[in-house]
Structure formats: C-alpha cells, structure tokens
Structure 1
Amino acid sequence: MFDDNDIKIFGEKKAPKTEESQNLPKEKIEKAREIGKSVAEIYIADYKSQKAENLADTEFLAQRILLLSFTATAGFEEYINDDALAGFAQKSFLDTVRSESVDLYKASSDMGAFSFYYLAFRRDNDIERRIGQTFAMLCSHDGDPIFQELGEALFCWFFSKVKAIVAENLDII
C-alpha cells in the first residue's frame, strides 16, 4: 500500500519575501503592478466583449480565456527582464481579474492547458504556429486550420499588447 507520511500539506501562511524582491526599489515594484493591472484591464474588456456576443461555442470562449491568460503570463516572463518584477506583474494581473470576477479568475488558470501552451512556447521555432495548433487541439478542433489560425492570431494580438504595455514602462522596469 501507499504511505502518505511523506506528503506535506502547506497552510495559508504566506511565503516570506525573497531577498531579491526585498532589494527592489518600491517604484519598480509599483510599476510592475501597474503593468499587470493594465494587461488585466484589456483581458477583462475582451472577456466582457466576447461574453456579450453570446458565443454559442462555450468551449471556444473557455479556451480563449485560457490562451489570453497564458499569453499574459508568457509576456511578463518574456518582456520584463527581472523575474521578481515579472512575478509582481503576474500577481497584479491575477488580483485584478479576481477582483473583477471570481468566475473569470477561476476560468483563467487551468494548469493542464497552461502545460500544453508552455510546451509549445518553450520550443525555439514556430512558436505562434505551435500555440495555434495547441489552441485548436484544446478547442477539440485538432488539425482544423481555421482554429489554428485563430489561436495564432489571438496569441500574437495579446502578446503584442503585453509587449507594448511593458515597453511604455521600460524606463522604470
């Protein structure tokens, strides 16, 4: 039989601040939080717009939410050159989404889907195409060129939004 004695359950206590984040200037941390909030506002507006259109394909909407959430995370990691600041931006993004809609927040973080997207993103070539293929697969339209192109376009669009928001604040970050 299995023995669960080596499994550790972690409580609600927050992890202590790392030395790296303690040494960051407060203005940089605040700027990273503003970046996360700005990206979240675009994300939320897109969600509301898509929801208002009453899309018949709820699976498509769910996968769109996940793809854009992943893209925000990947964008923070890609364009903010400090891991701690990227973490502050990501936390601010999620906090802003959660304060707007708990349901959207919950729908934004399917780790299974994120794993598939990270596999596509971590490859060195054809990232956009691979993201599009992953999107089509997760929408249950594996191999469908229309869904692949749509996933690719969504990724490119939102990735460029994240890049632009980070670039606007690059003097601080």
Structure 2
Amino acid sequence: MMQALKPEQLISWAQRARPGEDVAYFTGDRPSEALRLTARDLHAQGLVAVTTKRAGAGFRYIAQRLEAPRPSQLRARARFNPGQFTRRADGGKCTTRAVLRLLTRAAIRGDACPTNAELARALGLKDAVAASYRVRRLVREGKIRVEEPSPTERRVVTIVATGKSTVRGAL
C-alpha cells in the first residue's frame, strides 16, 4: 500500500510545522521525482531533516522540521551553484597556450623539443597523454608543425608564426 503527500502539501507542512514535528511524506518503494526534489530542496534550505525507515516490504520517508537553518546550510545557500557550467573567457585554451609558450621558448633558444612527459611536468598536467593532446591541438589549429625524425630522436617543432624550430636531439 502506497501513501504519498503531494509536493505542495509537503511545502505547506514545512512552512507551518513546529520544530521537532515530523511527517511521513511517502510510504512505499520510491517517491516520485517531484516529491524527492521537493524534499531535497527543503533539506538544502535547512528546514527539514529527511530519513527513511523500513515499513513492511517498503519504506517510510520521513521529514522532521528543524528549528532554523544550520550555519553551514546558510553558507551553502549563499554560494549556491545552479549547476550550470560557464566557459572560461579564453575558451579553455589556457594550458594549450602554455604548451605553445614552452615550445616557442625552446625554439627561440635553439633547444631540443621537450618530450610530452617534460611538458606535463613543467605545466602540472596530469600525464604525458594530456600534453600530447595539447600538442596535437596546436597542430590542428595550425600554430605548429611537427616532424618526427625517428623513434630515438626528439621531435622537431616549427612555430608557424615565427618560423623558428627546435633542434634535433636524442631521447
């Protein structure tokens, strides 16, 4: 047997209930999405504490009215993130530009091209694969050209904007 309050009824109860009062807002296997979201929102606002208890083959979902929102919940409300991502002003290409800067510096100095592992270490990237991705991205954008002379030598990178190249070197 399933019993459920409507989301509006749960909100109304939370507004008029005294601290310490509780209500079983759903009895059964699982409340509806709308009812779960309503209970979660009331909990996030610090108005209720929610819990479940076994009731025969299902569960009793219980909300208990709290005295006032806890300070941590007030702080959480102040920094609420609606769950929307915002793009960086630079389009997320900050680390790609940093890789280009390191490659340009090596070309200007006449150094050998850094390996992917060296690039990753210098820029704090996760691993050599992350650095490799950014180098391939620079090639795709037409900012650099890459020659792979042999498996035992370092690649030679040419910066398209300046025409400068890194020198060959052994691995």
As a proportion of its length, which structure holds more strand? 2
Task: Compute the TM-score of the two structures, normalised by the length of structure 1.
Answer: 0.26
By percentage of residues, which structure has more helix? 1
Structure of higher CA gyration radius:
2
* TM value normalised by structure 2: 0.27
Larger relative contact order, structure 1 or 2 (CA cutoff 8 Å, min sep 6): 1
